[in-house]
């Protein structure tokens, strides 16, 4: 299915479950595809949860465009998708950069969000002497080099389970991701700082930290919990950056707890 945003960009999305059920909206990371949530869809539908997945603008099956490549515009896309699907008080699940999109939607206050689950994403990408939880060792001084570097480490610890790996291979073959064309978005992502938004939030936020993440060290969730009890941290073992596709059984247990606690 497709819908067109307020600035004229076509976004591809899929729905599963009944329209009257509480809705979980999954939000992809940078260069991600909605197929990465394959192991969660049937699981949630069995719990009588409505599931919505989609591809960001300039990614996947959505329209490829140079317009609106910022976190705040992607958050507006998310809000408009929820309105299009007549979703009230969604549960938002954001992976990597997708978590930042959910936090931007929270800050915009245009959507009544029930709760947010973030997956392996620090609220501030750039490291400082007082913030060691950013992306690898990237700082303001090294950002330009980081934007142009190819990955030197594997994103996953053991690879993806077959039920997810094959749909992702198919999606990537059908709609290759152009990292260079998305550089403005990546730069914007690096420069955001969502800590103040999360510290002020009355919306429950659960932060999943991947114990063997190649990108972030654990601790940012606990740091924010100390400042706001509405923020809680969960660390998942034996996985890298993509726990929903690496250890879906363990991830789905955490997801189930999050949904049942907040969907009522």
Residue 149, number of CB atoms within 10 A of its CB = 10
Phi, psi for 181 (deg, rounded to 5): -70, -20
Helix, strand, or coil (residue 247) = coil
- What span, in angstroms and rounded, lies between the C-alpha atoms of 109 and 261? 22
Beta sheet of 115-119, edge-to-edge order:
2-4, 10-16, 50-54, 23-27, 91-95, 115-119, 205-210, 231-236
Angle between helices 38-46 and 248-262 (to 10 degrees): 40
How would you classify residue 83: left for phi > 0, otherwise alpha for psi between -120 and 50, otherwise beta?
alpha
pLDDT of residue 148: 85
* Nearest in space to 127 (alpha carbons), one of 144, 139, 142: 139
The model's pTM is: 0.98
CATH, residue 70: 3.40.50.1820
What pLDDT, on the 0 to 100 scale, is given for residue 151? Answer: 74
Q: How far is CA 235 from CA 208, 214, 216, 258, in A?
A: 6, 14, 12, 14
User: What are the pLDDT digits (tens) for 38-61?
Assistant: 999 999 999 999 999 999 999 999
Q: What one-character-per-residue DSSP string does 118-184 give?
A: EES--SB-S-BTTB--SSTT--TTTHHHHHHPPP-S-SSSS---HHHHHHHHHHHHHS---TGGGHH
Alpha-carbon torsion 177, 181, 184, 190, what sign? Answer: positive
Residue in 8, 42, 12, 48 with CA at minimum distance from that of residue 28:
12
Please give the backbone phi and psi of residue 152, each rounded to the nearest 5 degrees, phi first. -110, -5
3 state DSSP class of 81: helix
Q: What pLDDT is recorded for position 264?
A: 65
Question: Distance of alpha carbon 42 from its chain centroid, rounded?
Answer: 19
**Residues in the chain, pLDDT under 70:** 264
Phi then psi dihedrals of residue 13, to 5 deg: -145, 165
Q: Which phi and psi (to 5°) does residue 10 adopt?
A: -85, 125
Structural domain range at position 180: 2-263
Q: What is the pLDDT of residues 77-114, one digit of tens each?
A: 999 999 999 998 999 999 999 999 999 999 999 999 99
Q: How many domains does the chain have?
A: 1
User: What is each CA distance from 18 to 5, 37, 44, 52, in whole angstroms?
Assistant: 24, 18, 11, 11
């Amino acid at each position: 299915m497709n819908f067109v945003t307020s600035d004229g960009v076509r976004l591809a999305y899929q729905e599963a479950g009944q329209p009257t059920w509480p809705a979980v909206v999954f939000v992809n990371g940078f260069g991600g595809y909605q197929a990465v949530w394959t192991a969660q869809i049937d699981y949630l539908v069995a719990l009588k949860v409505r599931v919505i997945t989609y591809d960001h603008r300039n990614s996947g099956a959505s329209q490829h465009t140079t317009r609106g490549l910022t976190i705040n515009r992607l958050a507006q896309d998310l809000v408009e998708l929820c309105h299009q699907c007549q979703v009230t008080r969604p549960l938002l699940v954001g992976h990597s950069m997708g978590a930042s999109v959910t936090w931007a939607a929270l800050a915009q206050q245009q959507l009544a969000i029930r709760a947010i689950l973030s997956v392996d994403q620090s609220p501030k990408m750039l490291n400082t002497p007082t913030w060691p939880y950013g992306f690898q060792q990237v700082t303001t001084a090294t950002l330009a080099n980081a934007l142009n570097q190819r990955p030197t480490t594997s994103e996953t610890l053991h690879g993806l389970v077959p039920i997810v790996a094959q749909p992702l291979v198919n999606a990537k073959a059908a709609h290759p991701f152009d990292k260079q064309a998305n550089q403005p978005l990546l730069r914007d992502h690096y420069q955001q700082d969502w800590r103040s938004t999360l510290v002020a939030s009355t919306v429950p936020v659960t932060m999943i930290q991947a114990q063997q993440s190649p990108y972030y060290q654990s601790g940012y969730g606990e740091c924010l919990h100390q400042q706001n009890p509405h923020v809680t941290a969960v660390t998942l073992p034996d996985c890298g950056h993509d726990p929903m596709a690496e250890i879906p059984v363990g991830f789905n247990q955490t997801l189930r707890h999050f949904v049942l606690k907040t969907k009522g």
